[in-house]
Amino acid sequence: MKKALSDLNLEKLKELCVTLGEKPFRATQLYEGINSGKELTEMTNLPSTFVEKLSNEYTAQGVSILKTLVSSDGTRKYLFLLNDGNIIEGVLMKYKYGNTICVSTQVGCRMNCAFCASGLDGLVRNLTSGEILSEVLTVNKSLGGTLKKREITNIVLMGSGEPFDNYDNVAEFLRLVNNEKGLNISYRNISLSTCGLLTGVDRLIEDKLFVTLTFSLHAPTDEIRNDIMPINKAFNTKMVIEAAKKYFNATGRRIVFEYSLIQGVNDSEPCAKRLAELVKGFPAHINLIALNYVKERSLTGTSAEKVKKFQGYLEKLGVSCTIRRTMGEDISGACGQLRRKYIGK
């Protein structure tokens, strides 16, 4: 399998150029080409002999866009082809303030949440930092963006995969996309969502990668959470809240909790009360969404009317919360609907 040059930062590209007998300034040209989302053949400022030499072992990008599906609400779902034939999905959402891309961090996922499509095949493999970066770079380019004039303003690590189950590559991706010579997207504009693999929280703090942290909570008690999220057996609800508080204390950043409402499972008034008790005492925000449909899973989303009611209970108890619009459902691009595909060699 060919490797992706997008895995490499400028220093490493310089080393590569020297190894291949090229002048170091070629590394800067390469870096600019890669971060503009280009493939090697599109980097016309490079000597063709150099491009040929590189092409034997490398592609510039870790993914290429295989297909784009456009939803009636304007959301776009991208099928990205990886160099080994796997296909992952990403989603672009257009808002008034800019464009947000939702990227995958793994092919498949081993967390096996009872409501999610991403874990149906288990974990196939981790994505490299360059593959995650190329999801952003290729979409930025496809929207007419460049390195200087970005079309993508926000990133959410909420596609397939558990980001903290691939910590090193995710951390390197954050540094690459934040690099001031690269796309230079600030950590504030990046949200990382975890199902609660809490070892990652300490590591983010240690590495000073102060992104917006989102926890997929989905239940206010261990009894309910154990049933729908296997990770709760290792890191229970109380531990999730403690980790959230710790991250708030270290960063001063408000914590977001995702709460997908499942009919008859976590959508009652007592659930709202327990949830309110759980998140009181520090700046937390709850995103409510009705569970999206996944055909292999047996759970059903709460009706729009009952979601509103649940929000009402929380608001009465002084909890900050919003109902998230579900986007891209007609193209299976909504939360929990992203899954792995594969093309044979």
Site residues for ligand SAH per CB under 6 A: 111, 113, 115-116, 158, 162, 193-195, 216, 258, 260, 289, 291-292, 294, 335-336
Q: What's the one-letter identity of residue 164?
A: F
Closer to ligand SAH by CB, 147 or 335: give it: 335
Q: What span, in angstroms and rounded, lies between the C-alpha atoms of 10 and 54?
A: 16
Q: Other CB atoms closer than 10 Å to residue 318's CB: what's the count? A: 8
DSSP one-letter code for 92? E
Smallest gap from residue 289 Cβ to ligand SAH (A):
5
Closer to ligand SAH by CB, 36 or 194: give it: 194
Residue 249 corresponds to which tokens in the numbers above? 């204390």
Residue 203 makes CB contacts below 8 A (sequence gap 6+) with 164, 167, 171
Cβ-proximal residue to ligand SAH, closest one = 336
Angle in degrees, CA 213, 214, 215, rounded to 5? 125
Smallest gap from residue 116 Cβ to ligand SAH (A):
3
Q: What span, in angstroms and rounded, lies between the C-alpha atoms of 238 and 274?
A: 12
Smallest gap from residue 197 Cβ to ligand SAH (A):
8
Residue 250 corresponds to which tokens in the numbers above? 């270290």
Smallest gap from residue 3 Cβ to ligand SAH (A):
26
Closer to ligand SAH by CB, 17 or 217: give it: 217
Phi, psi of 27 (to 5 degrees): -65, -40
Closer to ligand SAH by CB, 108 or 145: give it: 108
Q: What span, in angstroms and rounded, lies between the C-alpha atoms of 154 and 152?
A: 6
Closer to ligand SAH by CB, 134 or 193: give it: 193
**CA dihedral of 137, 141, 142, 145, whole degrees rounded to 10:** 120
Q: Other CB atoms closer than 10 Å to residue 332's CB: what's the count? A: 20
By annotation, the residues acting in catalysis are 89, 335
Gyration radius (Cα) of the chain, Å: 21
Smallest gap from residue 188 Cβ to ligand SAH (A):
19
